[in-house]
Structure 1
């Protein structure tokens, strides 16, 4: 099997089903929702980040997470530059998983973050699929 990006795209496009694309769209919509939820519940973020805020630059981190979730979620939903949008999500999701081990363990948050990270890694590797803006623009050439 060809392991280049082109080979992975060929595999994803040949195996792309409605479920493949529905998973990508669901992931994008979930990230948009989480971005909005994150903005509206910023007090929880301040409490979590308080011990290490001097190291991460609290407000910079807050704005990065909110923008990456909302803008990345929109791009993922439409399948536009999907891999790039997901690469921007990976540090956030890895941090979300690790926060459960650094701070107070919340099994539900850990499960959601782990599942979201898994889907993000999957779509980062295999791309956006056949029913996406990426595929449409590629076929326009």
Structure 2
């Protein structure tokens, strides 16, 4: 546990300010994808229609929508960033490996969606390590504990 604390302190002290703008853009993009997901939930149900687990599909759709909407805002504002990212990573792993495998990993029509999912997954892993940074609610709350 001490190693994780040292690693977190190192990442906080070596956190460039420009990377915060990428975190904000990533959070807003995930929020946007959550809105698109809510407006097109039928696409997920159609994608998973091969399975006979209708309750699981419905629960998964609600989990993805809630995690993208709430997690996207939390990542963009920098509020409990690592916590929000932990809930995003299983969704992106599923998008990269399971969804793209079913529709063909390197098919021409799905190539952009695969690259986008993989890029978001890599960025989530980067921010899981680096944390929220100086332009975040976490930093502001640590600077103003009594406010």
Specify if TM > 0.5. yes
Distance in 2 (alpha carbons) for counterparts of 1:9 and 1:133: 17
Alignment of 1:57-76 (within 5 A): 57-76=56-75
Q: Is the 8 A contact 2:74 2:81 kept in 1?
A: yes
Instruction: Kindly state the Cα deviation for residue 55 of structure 1 after the two structures are TM-superposed.
Output: 7.5
Report the CA distance between 1:71 and its aligned residue: 0.3
Structure 1 distance, partners of 2:59, 2:137, is 30
Question: Could you list the runs of 5+ residues in structure 2 that have no partner in the other structure?
Answer: none
Distance change >3 Å, CA 10–CA 93, structure 1 → 2: same
Contact 1:69 1:89 in 2 (8 A): yes
SS of equivalent to 2:33: helix
Q: How much does 1:103 deviate?
A: 3.2
Question: Partners in 1 of 2:101 and 2:134 — Cα distance?
Answer: 38
Q: 1:115 to 1:12 in 2, by over 3 A?
A: same
Q: TM-score, normalised by structure 1?
A: 0.89
Whose helix fraction is larger, Structure 1's or Structure 2's? 1
The count of corresponding residues between Structure 1 and Structure 2 is 139
Alpha-carbon distance in structure 1 between the residues aligned to 2:24 and 2:6? 22
- Which is higher, the Rg of structure 1 or of structure 2? 2
Counterpart in the other structure of 2:138? 134
Q: Which runs of 4+ in 1 moved over 6 A?
A: none
Q: For residues 114 and 44 of structure 1, do their structure 2 counterparts lie closer, same or farther at Cα, with a shift above 3 Å needed?
A: same
In structure 2, relative to structure 1, the CA distance for the partners of 1:91 and 1:44 (3 Å cut) is: same
Q: CA RMSD in A?
A: 1.8
Judge conservation of contact 2:17–2:133 (CA < 8 Å) in 1. Answer: no
Conserved? CA contact 1:75–1:85, under 8 Å: yes
Give the structure-2-normalised TM-score.
0.85
Q: Which runs of 5+ in 1 are unaligned?
A: none
Aligned to 2:121: 117
